[in-house]
Amino acid sequence: MPATITAIINQKGGTGKTCTCASLGIGLAREGKNVLLVDIDPQSSLTISLGYDKPDDLPVTVATLMMKAMNGEAIAQGEGILHHREVVDLLPSCIELSGVEAAAVNALSRENILKQILAPLRKQYDHILIDCSPSLSMLNLNALSAADNVIIPVQPQYLSAKGLVDLLNTIKKVKRQINPKLRTEGIVMTMMDNRTNFAKEINALIRDTYGKHIHIFSTEIPLSVRAAEASAAGVSIHTYDPRGKVAEAYRNLTKEVLNREKQRQKAKSPCL
C-alpha cells in the first residue's frame, strides 16, 4: 500500500508540532514502519531538532526540490533525503524555503508542488509525516493538498483553543476545493500540566466543543523540559529520555494512530 501522508499542523506557534512530528514518526519506525519526515518550515525546527544544526549548509533540501518541480526539472530518486540514526528518513528544510514560497505564488498548480515531490516516494514508505510552519501559508496549503490525514497538536491555552476555528475552516476549504480525500485524524493535547486548573479547564473546553465532530486522542502529552532538551541534543525523546513520561505518552499516541489505521483498513476490507 502507498504511504499514508499526515500533516502535523497548527497555525499557532509553540504547540508541540515539531516534537509531535519527530516523536510520532520515530515511534512508528520503532513499530516496524518505514517513515519519512518532511520539514516544510523555513525555520527548519524539525531539521535542527534531529541534529542537523546548520540546515542552510545542506546541499539539497525540500526548497531545492520544490524549485526543481516548479521549473520542470527532474528529481533523482531519493534526492535530498537524509538517513537519521533513529531509523527514519528526513527531507530537511532551510531558510531558502521562504523564497521558494514567494516564487510559488505565481506558479501553475502552486498548491500541488509538494504533492508532486512526494508522489513517487509513497511507494517507498508506510508513513510520511509533514512538519508544517506556524502559519496559514502557501507551504501549509501544499501540505494539506498532499496529505491524507491531519493531526492538530493543541496546547491547553486560550489562544491556542481559539485559533482552532480558523484552522478547521481552512482544512474544510482545502477538502472542498483541492483535496476531497483529506481527513482530520484528530487533535492531540500537548504540553499538558494537570497540576493547574486552567489547563484542565481548557482541555475540557476543547473536548466538549470539538469532541462531537473531531476525534480527540485520549493520549495527552505532558509538559516537560525533557522534550526541549531532547531537541537541543539532536535526538528524539525516545532516545533522550526513553523511560520518561513524554516518551511513554508518545508511545501511547503511536499505538492510537496505528489502531485507528488498522480499524480503517478493516472497514475497507471486503467481507469474506
How many domains does the structure of the chain reveal? 1
Residue 69 has pLDDT above 60, yes or no: yes
**What pLDDT is recorded for position 161?**
72
pTM over 0.85: yes
Q: How far apart are CA 155 and CA 193, in angstroms?
A: 10
User: Could you tell me which of 3, 1, 5, 12 has the C-alpha nearest to residue 153?
Assistant: 12
N-term to C-term CA, the chain: 20
For residue 37, with 0-12 CB atoms within 10 Å meaning exposed, 13-18 middle and 19 or more buried, which class applies?
buried
pLDDT band at 270, cuts 50/70/90? low
Q: Which three cell numbers stand for residue 208?
A: 466538549
145-176 pLDDT, tens digit per residue, is 999 999 999 998 877 777 788 899 999 999 99
Which residue is associated with the grid cell 524549485? 67
Write out the residue range of the structural domain in which residue 188 sits. Answer: 4-268
Tell me the mean pLDDT in the region 13-27.
94
Query: Residue 246 is part of a domain; what is its CATH number?
Result: 3.40.50.300
Mean pLDDT comparison of 107-121, 174-188, 198-212, 255-269, highest-scoring range: 174-188
Q: What's the order of all strands across the beta sheet hosting 88-91? A: 82-84, 88-91, 35-39, 127-131, 4-8, 149-154, 183-189
